[in-house]
Structure formats: C-alpha cells, structure tokens
Amino acid sequence: MTYETRLFINGAYMAGNGPALPSHEPATGKLLAEVASADTGQVDLAVTTAHAAFAKWGKATPKERSRALLRIADAIEARADALADVESVNAGKPWRYVKAGELANVADVFRYFGTAARNVPGTPANGFRSSRHTSILRRDPLGVIASIAPWNYPLLMAAWKIAPAVAAGNTVVIKPSENTPLSLLFLASILAEFLPEGVVNVVTGDGPNVGQTLITHPLVRMISLTGDVRTGRAVLKAAAGDSIKRTHLELGGKAPVIVCADADVDNLVETLREASFYNAGQDCTAACRIFVDQSIAQEVTDKLSAMIGSLVYGAPERDDVEFGPLITAAQRERVAGFVDRARQAGGDIVAGGKTPEGAGYYYEPTLVAAPITTEIVQKEVFGPVLTITAFDNPETALGWANASEYGLASSVWSRDSTLAMNLTNRLEYGVTWVNTHGVFATEMPHGGMKNSGYGSDLSMQSLIDYTQVRHIMVAS
Ligand code: NAD
C-alpha cells in the first residue's frame, strides 16, 4: 500500500519542510511511512490560507455548506474500503469494525451536520426594551478553528471536529496525532473535491512544536482539542496568550460502571465485552471501572472473567478479532506498568495481566480486583484493562464516582428505575447510560465535566459551540 504523507494546504498537497516522523503499524511494529512535519512557515501558511478562505466560506449560505457536507458523506461511503484500509493498518483496529462501524459513523457525522447547517434553532425577534426596539439574534461563524486530534479514532475524531466547524461557516486547520496521520491525509483529498480551497487544511507533526505553533497563531479564533488533560492545560495557556481564543476541550475519562444488587448481570457482561474492550480499551468512554454491590460481586467477577477468557484479539485484518494491538510500544508499557503496580499493591489479577509473546503491541484483556484507592482504579489506563471494586451501598459508589477528577462517561445498572434515576441525576458526568454503556447517537451531545473538559461534540449543541451568538437591536 502507498500512503499520502504530504501536508494539505489551500486545496493541494505539499511536502512538509520539518523533521520526518515515523508512522508505524501497531500490529507488527513495522514502519509504514515517514511523514514530514510542517515547519513554522507552513503552519503560518495553513492558517493564513484558512483565514483568507473564511472571507468567502463564512458568507456561504447554509444551503451551499449543507450541499458540500452531504456530498462529502456520500464520497466517504463510496471510498470506505480504501479509507478503512489505511485507518485499520495505522491505528491497529480490526478492519471489519472500522468499515462497518467507524467509517459509517464518519459519513453519518458529515451527513448530520450537512442537515444541521440549515436547521440552526433561534429565538424569535422581539421587542424587550420597548416595542420600538427590535432584538434579533445572529449566529455567526468565528473564523479559523485550530483542531488537534488524538490517535485513538483518527478519522472519527477529525469528523467530529471538521463537520460542525465547517457547517457553521468556519475554516479549519487540523493536526492529526503524530502516531496516526495517514487516514486524515487521505480524507483531505475527498474534502477538497467538495469544499473550496483553504476551507480545510491539514498540517502534520508533533504536539509541542507543530501543535503549539498552530494553537498560538494570532489568526486562530478557537482551539478544539481531543486529547490528554495535560494537553488541555497547554491549550488553555495558549488561548490566553497574545490573543484571547475560544476553547473546546474533550479530554480524558475514567468511566465508572455502578452495578446495583438487582442488575441484569448477563446483559452487563455482554455489553462490557464491547464497551470495555473495543479499540483495546483505548477509548475515553471505555467502561473501565466496575463498582459492584458486594452481594453480587463474586457472580459478576466470575462472569466477567469467563467473558474476558473468550475475547479474541489479534491481527486487525482477521475476521474474528474483537480488538487489535495498542497504539505504540510506549502505550503498552504504560498499561503493563499500571497492572504491575496494582499487583504489587495487593490487587488480584483475576484474568490476563501479561504481555503476550511475539510481534505487535498486544496486551492481554485483563480484570483486576482492587480497592478504590488503588492507582489503577483512579487513573486513566487507556488499555484493555477493567477493574472491579465492591461497595456496601449505592451511595458509596456514587461518592466514589463523583470523587474522580474526570467527568466524561458513566453508567448505572439496576432494574429499579427509581434507584437508577436517583443515582443518574446526581452523577457529575457529561454522559450517563442506564443499563447500557458506550452507545452514541450523532443527534445527542458528547462532552465532559471537570478535568474531562467542556464543550460538546456531536448534535446541534456542537454546531452552536462553533458559532458566536450576536445581538442586533434595531430602533424604529
Ligand atoms: P495527547 O494529548 O497526547 O495528543 C492529542 C493531540 O494533541 C495530538 O495531536 C498531539 O500531537 C497534540 N498535542 C500534544 N501536546 C500538544 C501541545 N502542547 N500543543 C498542541 N498540541 C499538542 O492525547 P492522545 O494520547 O493522542 O489521546 C489520548 C487521550 O485523548 C486520552 O486521554 C483520551 O481520554 C483522550 N480522548 C478524549 C476523548 C473525549 O471525547 N473526551 C475522545 C478520545 C480521546
């Protein structure tokens, strides 16, 4: 396979002038491509190009923007096999899931925002000071959005950022993760078929240099990041530099799963098969820590252990695998380190807990029984690792969940709707599922609280996040 490795600026590919970064195949550790970074001048060129393109795109009608996005959605579907090939090999994801799940979602996100562009809700014009003063609200685009994407869902996270921003009339300079730049560089050529030059530009490179140069550029009006909490802090500092920039932060998570005594345990275990282990657990919403009523703790532990023993992982091109390798050797070492320290701290490794022999950055699906204070129960692991901790009372579990620094995703499991709603309403999390976990709808917002960040992806709420509300008052 050959890969597009050049930057995409002003509707054309351009070789990067900065240092080349290696892009690997996580399933084998082999080098896939060397991707040259953008240098400072090229980041500046991308932003000034986007700024120039905004003069026209910001004034395009909702109908024109909608048309482009709907066509992009169709083109992604038409090229889904080829896009899935690149995404699967570069991110180590099972091909069949990328094709049927993630690429279908990428197309759906462009299609949804294509429709949303023409349906922004508004407040009727009205007279508030007197009947002579008519107040009108406008929702205008902001200008150039700097988008910074992570490696765990390279195309999907790029779609979550590009589609609402462009639907609202902004222009974008996006930087993919240095680990997984290849699929977005390919997607750029599809976007360019339907969007005017300069509306979406892609620069490659690392975070501290290229990312930092992008987010501090004076012509950038808003920074949208999906990434680590540490990177979120860097964005907030950059946003308060020489110019004041709006920020949109989707950061880490550590999703609690509160399992009450009357929960449907078989449904729970079957749901966690995917909700905990999809993408090798490298998912900010992954159901990664189970808080279970002590009366059913042994049953849940035994059934989870059996389920984990039946999980199939391996080479992404195989038709039977449920997850593939971790993204890098460093990420695998990080995950193994959490498990080793949990073991030393007295945690019980109920299943897995080892690095398998052979090539590729694989790690066994793992279940650790550990007390609430253990590091592995508190910190984001971002791997195929589940913890289980028993509670004596649902209020205890609620307290544990809300004591977390994170506030992204959570779930509550009970057949008693009063108990379930009572807990759900008091959870400090942007997303709470009841009797399920990890199910997304493009029409519904996704976002966090506390150190998980703020701002919504998906839904009309996201499109609104990429606009500026303006009050116009007309005296007559
Ligand atoms: P990361 O923060 O290391 O990198 C994310 C992106 O930020 C990369 O493109 C990187 O190059 C860039 N970056 C790093 N430092 C930067 C800086 N100083 N200035 C500008 N850009 C910089 O995160 P990652 O390891 O790629 O992704 C994993 C993290 O993303 C996890 O914490 C995960 O929970 C989070 N995540 C959150 C969501 C969500 O919706 N909340 C979704 C997916 C992933």
Tens digit of each residue's pLDDT (9 = 90 or more) over 384-407: 999 999 999 999 999 999 999 999
137-190 pLDDT, tens digit each = 999 999 999 999 999 999 999 999 999 999 999 999 999 999 999 999 999 999
pLDDT category of residue 242 using cuts at 50, 70 and 90:
confident
CA 103 to ligand 1 center in whole angstroms = 21
pLDDT tens per residue, range 69-85: 999 999 999 999 999 99
Q: How far apart are CA 139 and CA 177, in angstroms?
A: 31
Task: Look at residues 93, 107, 125 and name the one whose alpha carbon lies nearest to residue 313.
Answer: 93
Residue whose CB lies within 8 A of the most ligand 1 atoms, among 178, 284, 462, for a mutation test: 284
Residues whose CB falls within 8 Å of the CB of residue 456, separated by 6 or more in sequence, listed in order = 445, 446, 447, 462, 465
> pLDDT band at residue 1, thresholds of 50, 70 and 90?
confident
DSSP strands (E only) in 51-158: 126-127, 133-141, 144-148
- The yes-or-no verdict on residue 129 having pLDDT over 90 is yes
Number of residues that this document lists for the chain? 476
Distance CA 35, CA 37 (A): 6
∠ CA 424-450-282 to the nearest 5 degrees? Answer: 85
- DSSP letters for 280-304: GG--TT-EEEEEEEGGGHHHHHHHH
Q: Decide: helix, strand or coil at residue 73.
A: helix
State what percent of residues in the chain have pLDDT above 90.
99
CA distance 461 to 344: 45
For residue 349, name the pLDDT band (cuts at 50, 70, 90): very high
- 55-59, Cβ contacts within 8 angstroms, sequence gap of 24 or more: 56/196, 57/166, 57/169, 57/170, 57/171, 57/195, 57/196, 57/199, 58/140, 58/141, 58/143, 58/169, 58/170, 58/171, 59/169
Using DSSP bridges, classify how beta strands 20-24 and 246-250 pair: parallel, antiparallel or unpaired. unpaired
- The reported pLDDT for the residue numbered 405 is 97
At 158, which amino acid appears?
Answer: A
Q: Output the CA 214–ligand 1 centroid distance in Å.
A: 15
Q: Supply the mean pLDDT for the chain.
A: 97
Sign of the CA dihedral running 349, 351, 255, 224: positive
DSSP count for the chain of H helices, then E strands = 16, 22
Q: How far apart are CA 337 and CA 58, in angstroms?
A: 48
Sketch out the chain's domains with CATH numbers: 7-251+450-475 (3.40.605.10), 255-434 (3.40.309.10)
| Whether this model's pTM surpasses 0.85 | yes
- Can you tell me the distance from the alpha carbon of 409 to that of 404, in angstroms, rounded to the nearest whole number? 12
- C-alpha distances in Å from residue 462, one per residue of 225, 306, 363, 446: 13, 40, 35, 9
State the chain's maximal CA–CA distance in angstroms.
78
Ligand 1 atom with least separation from CA of 205: 11
Give residue 122's pLDDT band: very low, low, confident or very high (50, 70, 90): confident
Cite the active site residues. Answer: 250
Rounded Cα–Cα distance for residues 249 and 387 (Å)? 27
For 393-442, the pLDDT digits (tens) are 999 999 999 999 999 999 999 999 999 999 999 999 999 999 999 999 99
Q: Which residues line ligand 1 (CB under 6 A)?
A: 148-152, 157, 175, 177-178, 206-208, 211-212, 215, 226-228, 231, 234, 250-253, 284, 380, 382, 408, 448, 452
Residue of 151, 225, 226 to test ligand 1 pocket, by largest number of atoms within 8 Å of CB: 226
Atom number in ligand 1 closest to CA 177:
9
461 burial type by CB count under 10 A (0-12 exposed, 13-18 middle, 19+ buried): middle
Across the range 275-290, mean pLDDT stands at 98
pLDDT bracket for residue 28 (50, 70, 90): very high
